[in-house]
Amino acid sequence: MSMNIAVREAQDTDIHAVAELFDLYRQFYEQVPDLALARQFIEARLSRHESVILVAESASSGLLGFCQLYPSFCSVEARPIYALYDLFVLPAARKQGVGRMLLLAAEAKAAKDGMARMDLTTARSNTPAQSLYESLGWVRDDIFLAYNRRVDPL
């Protein structure tokens, strides 16, 4: 695989390729394959400008990975932040610096957009990702606990 990799913001013409990666990302988190759902979700985020999707692309191999940033706010700091919710690199492209390139591009985008910080969560068992984050200066939160609650539609 060529190491001539560029990171850029996804465009409308990337929807199908990003959706394929997004579907694989969801499968990594034990969701059933659903390319139609993945495409619908990615297309909606891009068309509504609800997220920023960065893609890592090789001229010879196409898209190798992506990360998705959702704009949010930190009430305590009274400043905007990005939630880096999705980061995925194709298994064949791992351990080649693609994830690192995406994270560094996300950091540059956050700085350019005036964000106070980026937040992310990862599975406790995903130690390769944790090592990557920590090598880039991300700090693990050992003070706060994360909670979530499912909401049934009315």
Domain at 106, CATH number: 3.40.630.30
**54 found inside a domain:** yes
DSSP β-ladder status, 79-89 and 5-9 = unpaired
The alpha carbon dihedral of 42, 46, 47, 48 has a sign of positive
**143 found inside a domain:** no
Domains contained in the chain, number? 1
pLDDT, tens digit (0-9, with 9 covering 90-100), for 23-40: 999 999 999 999 999 999
Q: What is the mean pLDDT of the chain?
A: 95
pLDDT value at residue 3? 65
Boundaries of domain holding 120: 5-135
**98 found inside a domain:** yes
pLDDT value at residue 145? 86
Interacting residues of 136 by C-beta distance below 8 A, sequence separation 6+: 100, 103, 104, 107
Spatial distance between the Cα atoms of 103 and 125, rounded to a whole number of angstroms: 20
3-state secondary structure of 81: strand
**60 found inside a domain:** yes
**35 found inside a domain:** yes
**13 found inside a domain:** yes
Spatial distance between the Cα atoms of 121 and 82, rounded to a whole number of angstroms: 12
**127 found inside a domain:** yes
Spatial distance between the Cα atoms of 22 and 35, rounded to a whole number of angstroms: 8
Whole-model pTM above 0.75?
yes
**38 found inside a domain:** yes
pLDDT, tens digit (0-9, with 9 covering 90-100), for 64-118: 999 999 999 999 999 999 999 999 999 999 999 999 999 999 999 999 999 999 9
